[in-house]
């Protein structure tokens, strides 16, 4: 007779065990997940050495769950032994295992229309998202018209708070990035221009490039990742905590209190950030021009006014306002689409940053084509 190392006293009556009596295997104790785990390695080794065609006696088994039944079912070769003695109430567990085993695996059929269906689903989702975005923009315009009729209801506190968070607190990082970008651009240009004896043209390249293109795009990418994600997360958390529903229950318009202040603040703050960042970038470029090309910073500033038409500054500022409006609307749109769970919050926050930056780049390309004949010297 082969026995397990467990003590067979009355205090261990529920401990699962397996013994061999001649051609019969006898099981005892509770064969549940909780009881089997401490001795699972030993139990498995005993079952591997057991003969599935022998007689099995489970009359002394107290409890049996799905884990224990599946363990035995696999040891028996996925079938019941010819001679099996079960205690009352244990057959149900084996019936569940047998029912699952009798279900044939699903047959995967090649569906040639599956890619078309997935493409159609994505197109429909995109259409619904565009419909929601257009509806939100229309509602914001309606709320703005109502405030023009009754200016006393303008949410000035919300506008000023967003101006501070999205504008003033972004000044240090915007200045640092702009200064470093100006340094790098001027450093790369200096070596190339020196080869052609065109050192002075660094003022033209830096002036037009930074004021007209690099400044607005750089600030927009920074604000989209910094403030745009914050807008989405803020509105998304309000969706999760049902604060937006509470506003609706009190008769407060979400578009007036949540979206319109962010839109107005971004339209005001972005041109100022663009101007601030462009000045910092030009300072960095002027510093490199003085160190690498011996161009005095005073001469740099004087030449900048002559070679860069003022239209480029207007274009940069208008771009800033346009990009700020796009970032605010996209961020609020994805914030309102958040479902009441944390996974949706993180996913929509990521989408808002990606879509906002993509929208900025697309608008910048369209703006460059529309203003290609403005502010360029020699035209």
CB 179 within 8 Å of CB 200: no
Helices (H) and strands (E) in the chain, counts: 16, 4
Question: For position 222, what pLDDT does the model report?
Answer: 94
The count of domains in the chain is 2
Residue whose entry in the numeric block shows the structure tokens 């279900």: 103
* 4-60 tens-digit pLDDT: 444 343 334 478 888 888 778 888 888 888 888 888 888 888 888 887 788 888 888
Residue 50 lies inside a defined structural domain of this protein = yes
Taking residues 214-239, report their average pLDDT: 92
Query: Is the same domain home to 215 and 71?
Result: no
CATH code of residue 45: 3.30.750
> What distances in angstroms separate CA 286 from CA 14, 197, 244, 356, one per listed residue?
84, 18, 50, 32
pLDDT band at 135 (very low <50, low <70, confident <90, very high): very high
Cα 266 to the chain's mean position, in Å? 22
Query: Is the same domain home to 282 and 345?
Result: yes
Residue 107 lies inside a defined structural domain of this protein = no
Query: Is the same domain home to 240 and 343?
Result: yes
**What is this structure's pTM?**
0.69
Query: Is the same domain home to 89 and 170?
Result: no
Question: For position 320, what pLDDT does the model report?
Answer: 94
Query: Is the same domain home to 205 and 263?
Result: yes
Q: Choose among 138, 155, 166, 341: nearest CA to 247.
A: 155
Taking residues 171-181, report their average pLDDT: 94
* 264-300 tens-digit pLDDT: 999 999 999 999 999 999 999 999 988 888 888 888 8
Q: Which residues pair with 29 in a beta bridge?
A: 61
Question: For position 266, what pLDDT does the model report?
Answer: 94
Residue 5 lies inside a defined structural domain of this protein = no
- Residue 189 pLDDT greater than 50, yes or no: yes
For residue 196, the enclosing domain spans 126-370
Cα 200 to the chain's mean position, in Å? 46
Residue whose entry in the numeric block shows the structure tokens 């994505």: 122
């Amino acid at each position: 007779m082969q026995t397990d190392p467990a003590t067979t006293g009355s205090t261990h009556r529920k401990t699962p065990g397996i013994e061999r009596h001649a051609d019969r295997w006898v099981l005892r104790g509770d064969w549940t997940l909780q009881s089997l785990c401490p001795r699972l390695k030993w139990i498995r080794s005993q079952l591997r050495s057991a003969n599935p065609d022998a007689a099995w006696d489970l009359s002394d088994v107290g409890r049996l769950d799905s884990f224990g039944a599946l363990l035995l079912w696999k040891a028996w070769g996925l079938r019941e032994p010819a001679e099996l003695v079960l205690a009352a109430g244990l057959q149900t567990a084996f019936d569940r295992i047998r029912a699952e085993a009798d279900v044939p695996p699903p047959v995967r059929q090649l569906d040639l229309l599956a890619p078309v269906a997935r493409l159609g689903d994505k197109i429909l989702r995109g259409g619904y998202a565009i419909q929601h975005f257009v509806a939100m923009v229309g509602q914001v315009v309606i709320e703005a018209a109502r405030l023009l009729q009754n200016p006393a209801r303008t949410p000035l506190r919300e506008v000023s708070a967003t101006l501070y968070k999205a504008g003033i607190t972004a000044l240090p990082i915007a200045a640092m990035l702009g200064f470093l970008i100006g340094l790098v651009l001027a450093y790369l240009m200096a070596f190339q221009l020196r080869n052609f004896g065109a050192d002075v043209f660094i003022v033209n390249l830096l002036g037009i490039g930074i004021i007209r293109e690099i400044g607005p795009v750089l600030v927009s990418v920074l604000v989209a990742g910094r403030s745009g994600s914050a807008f989405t997360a803020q509105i998304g958390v309000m969706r999760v905590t049902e604060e937006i529903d509470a506003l609706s229950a009190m008769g407060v318009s979400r578009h007036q209190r949540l979206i319109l202040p962010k839109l107005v603040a971004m339209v005001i703050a972005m041109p100022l950030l663009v101007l601030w960042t462009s000045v910092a970038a030009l300072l960095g470029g002027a510093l490199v021009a003085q160190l690498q090309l011996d161009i005095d910073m005073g001469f740099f500033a004087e030449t900048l006014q002559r070679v860069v038409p003022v239209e480029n500054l207007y274009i940069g500022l208008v771009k800033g306002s346009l990009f700020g409006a796009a970032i605010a609307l996209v961020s609020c749109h994805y914030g309102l689409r958040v479902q009441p769970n944390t996974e949706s919050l993180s996913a929509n926050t990521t989408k808002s940053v990606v879509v906002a930056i993509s929208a900025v780049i697309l608008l910048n390309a369209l703006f460059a084509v529309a203003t290609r004949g403005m502010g360029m010297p020699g035209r």
